[in-house]
Chains A and B, each alone.
Chain A
Amino acid sequence: MSGLNIADVSFDYGAKRALDGVSLTAEPGRFTALLGPNGAGKSTLFALISGLIATRRGRVLVEGFDIATNPRAALSRLGIVFQAQTLDLDLTVRHNLRYFGALHGMSGKELDHRIDAAMDRLDMRDRLAERAAELNGGHRRRMEIARALLHRPSVLVLDEPTVGLDVASRMAITRHVHDLAADEGLAVFWATHLVDEIADGDHLVLLHKGRVLAAGQAGALRGQVPLNDWFLGQTRVPA
């Protein structure tokens, strides 16, 4: 089994049900968008996928490895970009990347090669010696995406990665990650509440109040109506 598979996952915070029987798949080479309004359960799902909290019911599989029973194999195949920024702003870009590489068991020349290559791809190699604080929001995000790919995972998950960015950076990053899925064969799983980040060819999973309301190709799901109208129609609260 490849990519990311989530099977019948439920999760409660005390008496409040955050996720209710969620099943979905993110396949290699495809951009899978998890669309949902705030409070739909996206962040809880991400905490489960990244092993931060343990699944009580259901299974999360990364490339066939269960995060609950085989976390090390699952996590080493998973690249994660968190919603909150997780860079050390006081440290240089290179130190940030080296730190992450070391957590994944990499060191020395091999790690430095990968860092140089990753930053070349982003045209940011000349900024390796700068403090992360000196990068703008868009560059920090790009760097976090590059960092999440340093250990060459086959699944890349991103939790609302464009929050707080200007329109140009948002579009550039959305395009960049679409390319990663198409060109590198990554299984991309991208959570968002912004419909303009989703292309018609993407796989779309609509999450609302902890349940999957719809799943399928975005273009087919929306039919003739704009995606935004479709989204609002699906998630409208009956008055």
Chain B
Amino acid sequence: MSYRIALTAITLRELRRFLSQRGRFFAALVRPLVWLVVFAAGFRAALGLSIIPPYQTYITYEVYITPGLCGMILLFAGMQNALSLVYDREMGTMRLLLSSPLPRPFILFAKLFAGTVVAVAQVYAFLAVAVLIGVDIPLAGLVFILPALILSGMMLGSLGLLLSATISRLENFAGVMNFVIFPMFFLSTALYPLWKMAESSPLLRDICAVNPFSHAVELIRFALYGQIAPVALLVVLGCGAVFFALAVFFYDPRRGLQRSKA
């Protein structure tokens, strides 16, 4: 009971804060839309896509990268959220949480969950604009992707927490962009399908195939068409559980404390 009260409160707080910061909302929306409108328009001509599951007909490039851009929103939000848990930006609120009579694994889980809920809200805002500008996505799929988005968001948030809790060089967002977000995003199935990657390099294809972010994107892609991608689901669940357990083990509030003192 007290866990449910606390989880609800932590999530509501995150949503209220997000909604009160309009600038953050628009920034989060603009990035994937630029990709969708500008990048996809340019690539549409250069890249021919054959029919691969879950698609049953020829699709435009915009349709292909929409799940990947959903994943990108979750990836950015997850990393940003995780970083703020470890470093001083949210140190005050983390102190308040950590000194409450709640177990630390629950606190970290609740913070990741709250961050994921905010990220999922951003995904839906993005999808709403995508539908409005005429990207052909099945409307029923908007319901089916919800569990896929939450699972993927939790997995990426846990990864972010694990990385920022263990790698001392990842102290700022620029570092995370260069060494985590960009490689994960570009070496995945978000922008090109695996067979297209294989045409240029089998090695790149193999990297994409093991990248957990690829599996998050595929989970979302299949869910959008009402299908479950079993391998992707297992990978996302398994990686999520392992990343979270390790993150809890390595999380040490002193990192933020010492840094804020220095």
Residue contact B92 to A103, C-beta cutoff 8 Å: no
CA distance A157 to B17 in the complex (A): 28
Which residues 71-126 in B have Cβ within 8 Å of A in the complex? 91-93, 95-103
What A residues does B91 contact at CB under 8 A? Answer: 84
A55 in the interface, Cβ–Cβ < 8 Å?
no
A53 in the interface, Cβ–Cβ < 8 Å?
yes
Q: CB-nearest residue of chain B relative to A80?
A: B99
Minimum distance in angstroms from A17 CB to a CB of chain B: 15
Residue contact A71 to B21, C-beta cutoff 8 Å: no
Most buried by B among A50, A52, A71: A52
Which residues 1-59 in B have Cβ within 8 Å of A in the complex? 1-2, 5-6, 8-10, 12-13, 16-17, 20-21
Most buried by A among B5, B8, B20, B101: B101
Contacting chain A: which of B143-151, B166-174, B239-247, B250-258? B250-258
A104 in the interface, Cβ–Cβ < 8 Å?
yes
> B95's contact among A50, A73, A78, A99, by CB below 8 Å, is which?
A50
Most buried by A among B9, B12, B100, B102: B100
Residue contact B17 to A90, C-beta cutoff 8 Å: yes
What A residues does B9 contact at CB under 8 A? Answer: 98-99, 102-103
What A residues does B101 contact at CB under 8 A? Answer: 71-73, 75-76, 104-105
A95 in the interface, Cβ–Cβ < 8 Å?
yes
Which residues 93-115 in A have Cβ within 8 Å of B in the complex? 95, 98-100, 102-107
> B93's contact among A72, A80, A86, A105, by CB below 8 Å, is which?
A86
Q: CB-nearest residue of chain A relative to B258?
A: A13
Residue contact A95 to B257, C-beta cutoff 8 Å: no
A220 in the interface, Cβ–Cβ < 8 Å?
no
Minimum distance in angstroms from A148 CB to a CB of chain B: 10
> B253's contact among A53, A100, A103, A105, by CB below 8 Å, is which?
A53
What B residues does A52 contact at CB under 8 A? Answer: 95, 98-99, 253-254, 257
Residue contact B96 to A100, C-beta cutoff 8 Å: yes
> B5's contact among A53, A76, A95, A105, by CB below 8 Å, is which?
A105
Minimum distance in angstroms from B73 CB to a CB of chain A: 22
Which residues 60-99 in A have Cβ within 8 Å of B in the complex? 71-73, 75-76, 78, 80, 82, 84-86, 88, 90-91, 95, 98-99
| B-side interface size class | 20 to 34
A51 in the interface, Cβ–Cβ < 8 Å?
yes
> A85's contact among B17, B20, B92, B253, by CB below 8 Å, is which?
B92
Given known contacts A52-B257, A103-B6, A107-B5, A91 and B16 CB-to-CB distance under 8 angstroms: yes
Minimum distance in angstroms from B148 CB to a CB of chain A: 29
CA distance A47 to B261 in the complex (A): 13
Given known contacts A88-B17, A90-B17, A103 and B102 CB-to-CB distance under 8 angstroms: yes
CA distance A131 to B103 in the complex (A): 30
CA distance A88 to B13 in the complex (A): 9
Residue contact B17 to A103, C-beta cutoff 8 Å: no
Minimum distance in angstroms from A132 CB to a CB of chain B: 11
Given known contacts A86-B93, A90-B20, A98-B9, A103 and B100 CB-to-CB distance under 8 angstroms: yes
> A102's contact among B5, B254, B260, by CB below 8 Å, is which?
B5
Residue contact A53 to B17, C-beta cutoff 8 Å: no
What B residues does A98 contact at CB under 8 A? Answer: 9
Residue contact A90 to B16, C-beta cutoff 8 Å: yes
Given known contacts A13-B258, A53-B257, A90-B21, A95 and B92 CB-to-CB distance under 8 angstroms: no
Q: CB-nearest residue of chain A relative to B107?
A: A103
What B residues does A72 contact at CB under 8 A? Answer: 101-103
Minimum distance in angstroms from B105 CB to a CB of chain A: 13
> B96's contact among A43, A78, A103, A106, by CB below 8 Å, is which?
A103
Give 10 CB contacts A-B under 8 Å.
A13-B258, A51-B98, A72-B102, A75-B100, A82-B96, A86-B96, A99-B13, A102-B6, A103-B9, A103-B97
Binding site for A on B (CB under 8 A): 1-2, 5-6, 8-10, 12-13, 16-17, 20-21, 91-93, 95-103, 253-254, 257-258, 260-261
Given contacts A43-B261, A90-B21, 8 further A-B contacts (CB under 8 A): A52-B98, A84-B91, A86-B96, A90-B16, A100-B100, A103-B96, A105-B2, A106-B5
